[in-house]
């Protein structure tokens, strides 16, 4: 079963560690934030789901020391980017092909980080306008499909007053009746 819990916010411990505060979060709560999790063992089923939701693009991302030419500085700087609180202008699907990691979703109700531990076959739908971040875990490797609605909008919009006031953020908050 996928593990979902409130992050302990302990920055003294490496961000790849579990950071489990001991407070579990259930999937039904995630759904109220328009975040959807599912375990899907057939990759074709993910593409079918994406087609039904009018997705037109995808790519594969490989994050490990090997994929960064064994250059740990390169890997760390990419991870730093993923771990910075950000949002996207479009809904996005993430499907884990191999390895594992953590998606942290900023709960708009409590302002706490909700941590989702993802591994092979886990699929997450992340709505446009929700603040989130990603990191590897101590296994230090993940391969994931990233599926996009339109042209790939890789751009992460880093948490800022401008992002807070953006249309996509406001629409997200309205969509969950906040």
Query: Closest distance between ligand KMT and the C-beta of residue 110, in Å?
Result: 21
Establish if 153 lies at the interface with ligand KMT (CB under 6 A). Answer: no
Tell me if 92 is assigned to a ligand binding site.
yes
Establish if 144 lies at the interface with ligand KMT (CB under 6 A). Answer: yes
Residue of closest CB approach to ligand KMT:
134
Could you give the string, one character per residue 64-83, with x where binding to ligand KMT holds by CB under 6 A and - elsewhere? ------------------x-
Query: What HEC string does the chain produce?
Result: CCEEEEECCCCCCCCCCCCEEEEECCHHHHHHCCCEEEECCCHHHHHHHHHHCCCCEEEEEEEECHHHCCCHHHHHHHHHHHHCCEECCCCEEEEEEEEEEEEEEECCCCCCEEEEEEECCEEEEECCCCCEEEEECCCCEEEEEEEECCCCCCCCEECCHHHHCCHHHHHHHHHCCC
How many residues bind ligand KMT (CB under 6 A)? The answer is 8
Establish if 116 lies at the interface with ligand KMT (CB under 6 A). Answer: no
Tell me if 132 is assigned to a ligand binding site.
yes
Residues flagged as binding site for Ni(2+): 86, 88, 92, 132
Residues flagged as binding site: 86, 88, 92, 132
């Amino acid at each position: 079963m996928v593990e979902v819990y409130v992050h302990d916010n302990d920055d003294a411990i490496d961000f790849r560690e579990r950071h489990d505060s001991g407070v579990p979060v259930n999937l039904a709560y995630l759904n109220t934030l328009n975040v959807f999790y599912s375990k899907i063992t057939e990759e074709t089923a993910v593409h079918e789901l994406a087609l039904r939701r009018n997705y037109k693009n995808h790519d594969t991302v490989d994050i490990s020391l090997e994929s960064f030419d064994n250059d740990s500085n390169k890997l760390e700087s990419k991870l730093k980017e993923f771990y910075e609180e950000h949002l996207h202008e479009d809904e996005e699907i993430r499907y884990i092909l191999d390895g594992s990691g953590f998606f942290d979703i900023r709960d708009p109700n409590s302002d706490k980080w909700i941590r989702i531990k993802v591994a092979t076959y886990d699929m997450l739908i992340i709505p446009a306008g929700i603040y989130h971040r990603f990191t590897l875990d101590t296994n230090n490797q993940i391969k994931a499909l990233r599926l996009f609605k339109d042209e790939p909008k890789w751009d992460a919009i880093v948490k800022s007053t401008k992002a807070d006031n953006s249309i996509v953020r406001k629409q997200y908050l309205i969509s969950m009746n906040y």
